[in-house]
């Protein structure tokens, strides 16, 4: 390797290290707080403004929720540092069977997993 290539490589490594340090210092990667009743209502009204859910169930770990609006299930789950919203027929969600405290929903583009307190599904607030 010649001297110019080594200088260029060293400069590139230094620049990448500075950018990583700057991003860490700014706190770019932030944790998404778990959902509670108030944040769930706000997120539902933001993502589904035309729907007024009858009942809302928040996952045991606060990382997702399922709301029932008649024959429709409104699903929100954490993905990265935000939430993904989907609406499905309620019959699809009601037919799910939890195993080992987890409920897996199979969507066309993802497989979100919901933490449940017990293996009884659907919970009484959604039934």
Count of residues in the chain: 127
pLDDT at 101: 85
Structure tokens, 54: 């009858």
pLDDT for the residue numbered 81: 79
Least confident of 42-46, 72-76, 111-115: 111-115
pLDDT at 41: 92
Spatial neighbors of 97 by CB under 8 A, at least 6 apart, are: 121
For the chain, state the CA radius of gyration. 21
Domain ranges of the chain: 1-30, 37-115
pLDDT tens figures, 76-121? 999 887 899 999 999 998 898 888 888 888 888 888 888 888 777 8
pTM above 0.85, yes or no: no
- Averaged pLDDT of the chain: 88
């Amino acid at each position: 390797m010649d001297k110019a290539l080594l200088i260029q490589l060293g400069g590139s490594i230094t620049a990448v290290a500075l950018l990583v340090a700057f991003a860490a210092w700014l706190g770019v990667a932030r944790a998404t707080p778990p959902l509670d009743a108030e944040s769930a209502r706000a997120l539902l009204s933001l993502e589904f403004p035309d729907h007024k859910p009858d009942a809302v169930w928040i996952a045991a770990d606060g990382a997702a929720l399922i709301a029932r609006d008649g024959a429709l299930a409104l699903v929100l789950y954490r993905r990265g540092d935000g939430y993904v919203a989907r609406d499905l027929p309620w019959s699809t969600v009601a037919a799910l069977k939890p195993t080992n405290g987890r409920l897996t929903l199979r969507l066309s583009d993802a497989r979100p997993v919901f933490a449940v307190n017990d293996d009884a599904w659907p919970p009484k607030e959604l039934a």
